Amino acid sequence: MRTKGISIQRNTSEAVICCDCNRRFDIACTKKAVLSRIFPKQLSYMTMNKFLVSQLGAREHYAVPLAFHARQQLELFCSDFWANTFFRNVRKIPFCPRLLRNIAGRYHQELPSRLVASLPLSWTLNSRSLVSRYPLWSFHCQNGQNFAEEVNRIVRERNIDCTSVNFWGFSCAALESINYWKTQGGKSVLDQVDPLEVEYEIVREEYEKWPNWEDQNCLPAADYIQRVRCEWHEATQIVVNSEWSRLALVKQGVSCDKLRVIPLAYNGKKVQGAKNFTPPEAPLRVLYLGSVMLRKGIQYLIEAARHLKDDVEIRVCGKIQINKDKLSNLPRNIRFLGQISRLDTETYWQWVDVFILPTLSDGFAMTQLEAMAHGVPVITTDRCGDVVTHGIDGLLIPAGSSEAIAEALVYLAQNRHVLQEMSAAAVKKIKMFSISQYQANLGKL
């Protein structure tokens, strides 16, 4: 099947097959078979050892420590804050302040308290005060250093043997711990959350193309980049969430042997039954969900909307980070709604026909998984994780092209029957990004 400028090939071979038992990778394969036949032998020492996971915040709602706990490999999870029973009950109080409610939600019921080491609330409050004392990116560096040093203190107090317990930390908050593990003869894994300088260079180019659209303070300072590069150098292995990020780090000098790609997992709500789509005579409903910024390609979506007729209706939901004056004189087929609640998000997954993410660079975009879980086909680029299969569960378009966006939307608006087929394939695809699959992928380390 072929549209103007879009080649669509049907390819239903999506299963990852275990070479030991010739079954799907997420179906029962013994740990021994996975280690001996799939994963490199020289990396098996990490698979058998336990891990200490160090994490600022609640990234992906604690997916990494949860996965290691499920594999019985979690030695300890170190967090800047973990809500105890008191805070969890405070969250239930009517009209609870938003900040307190967010702090009270910092826990996961499937992680036992005996495996969690949390810093006191006073540390979290003090770290927030650093924001006013440091430039943004210097704050991230200082906060990351303070946290890593606290983790090292906990390790020493508990007499954790770094030679039998591996370290897992996240970029900009792990350097001091990685160095400590190295001095003790231990191994470490750095979870790199973005493509770093490759991504920042893309953003710089967009600033030049689209002047006065966005505050340029979002670009990191040299001390931030240097800190992350030091983490790359000292870590035993580096985990990224997409092939896009892997290639970006290789371009920046990281050895291929040091890198592993582990896609993120989706563990939220999923569609029940077939999704309903608007009839052909109604406008195609399009949803953009995420930060409204140049890096996410919003400027190209706006330009595409100017070339589209009223047979497409676009709604943009997310924190607006571009200058508000750029939202004046918009075509009537696109509306900006700002940030919306989780409840409203569920409503829009019911409303939408197709999800669009014209990103120029993302380490991994969870919203595309969320869309697929709701049976919504996805239009995106190849710079946010290997999720969409072109022509099967969505469409892949070139990054930075308003023409490609318009072309893809016109194609789906004129071929509504394709949406139901893509929806069914998307629901099937999401199983490849389950928590159990994420746990299995950790066996690559």
Residues 387, 306 share a domain: yes
Does residue 31 have a pLDDT over 50?
no
pLDDT at 213: 96
| Span 263-310, pLDDT tens digits | 999 988 888 778 999 999 999 999 999 999 999 999 999 999 999 988
Q: Is 244 a member of any domain? A: yes
Among the listed residues 121, 5, 63, 116, the one whose alpha carbon sits nearest the alpha carbon of residue 262? 63
Calpha distance 371→423 (Å, rounded)? 10
pLDDT at 40: 45
Least reliable range by pLDDT among 22-26, 83-87, 225-229, 371-375:
22-26
pLDDT at 154: 98
Does residue 174 have a pLDDT over 50?
yes
Residues 230, 353 share a domain: no
pLDDT at 121: 83
Give the count of alpha carbons within 13 A of 238, CB side only: 31
Q: What range does the domain containing 384 cover?
A: 2-8+269-433
Residues 166, 184 share a domain: yes
Among the listed residues 217, 214, 258, 263, the one whose alpha carbon sits nearest the alpha carbon of residue 365? 263
* Higher per-residue pLDDT: 207 or 46: 207
Q: Is 24 a member of any domain? A: no
Q: Which band of pLDDT confidence, cut at 50, 70 and 90, is reported for residue 44?
A: very low
Residues 79, 62 share a domain: yes
Q: DSSP labels for 286-312? A: EEEES-BSGGGTHHHHHHHHHH--TTE
pLDDT at 90: 65
Give the count of alpha carbons within 13 A of 19, CB side only: 6
- Start-end of H helices in 332-386: 342-351, 366-373
Q: Percent of the chain at pLDDT above 70?
A: 84
| Span 216-264, pLDDT tens digits | 767 888 999 999 999 999 999 999 999 999 999 999 999 999 999 999 9
| Span 421-431, pLDDT tens digits | 999 999 999 99
Residues 99, 63 share a domain: yes
Residues 186, 282 share a domain: no
| Span 124-163, pLDDT tens digits | 878 877 877 888 889 999 999 999 999 999 999 999 999 9
Q: Which of 217, 234, 262 is the last residue of a domain?
A: 262
Q: Cα–chain-centroid distance for residue 72?
A: 24
Residues 163, 295 share a domain: no
Q: What letter represents residue 204's amino acid?
A: R
Q: Is 117 a member of any domain? A: yes
pLDDT at 358: 98
pLDDT at 14: 40
Q: Which of 237, 262, 287 is the last residue of a domain?
A: 262
Report the domain count for the chain. Answer: 2
Kindly state the greatest CA–CA separation across the chain: 68
pLDDT at 96: 66
Q: Is 444 a member of any domain? A: no
Does residue 17 have a pLDDT over 60?
no
Sheet holding 50-55, edge to edge: 116-118, 74-79, 50-55, 165-170, 188-191, 237-240, 259-261
CATH number of the domain that residue 382 is part of? 3.40.50.2000
Residues 229, 98 share a domain: yes
Q: Which band of pLDDT confidence, cut at 50, 70 and 90, is reported for residue 36?
A: very low
Does residue 2 have a pLDDT over 60?
no
Q: Which of 238, 262, 286 is the last residue of a domain?
A: 262
* Higher per-residue pLDDT: 95 or 370: 370
**Section 120-124 average pLDDT:** 86
Q: Is 395 a member of any domain? A: yes
**Section 49-68 average pLDDT:** 91
pLDDT at 11: 43
pLDDT at 91: 63
Residues 314, 203 share a domain: no
CATH number of the domain that residue 120 is part of? 3.40.50
pLDDT at 205: 96
Does residue 437 have a pLDDT over 70?
yes
Residues 306, 197 share a domain: no
> Which residue in the block uniquely carries the two structure tokens 């080491």?
117
Burial class of residue 138 (count of CB atoms within 10 Å of its CB; 0-12, 13-18, 19+): middle
Residues 158, 83 share a domain: yes
Q: Is 440 a member of any domain? A: no
**Section 48-75 average pLDDT:** 91
| Span 373-409, pLDDT tens digits | 999 999 999 999 999 999 999 999 999 999 999 999 9
Residues 258, 214 share a domain: yes
Calpha distance 330→35 (Å, rounded)? 55
Does residue 92 have a pLDDT over 70?
no
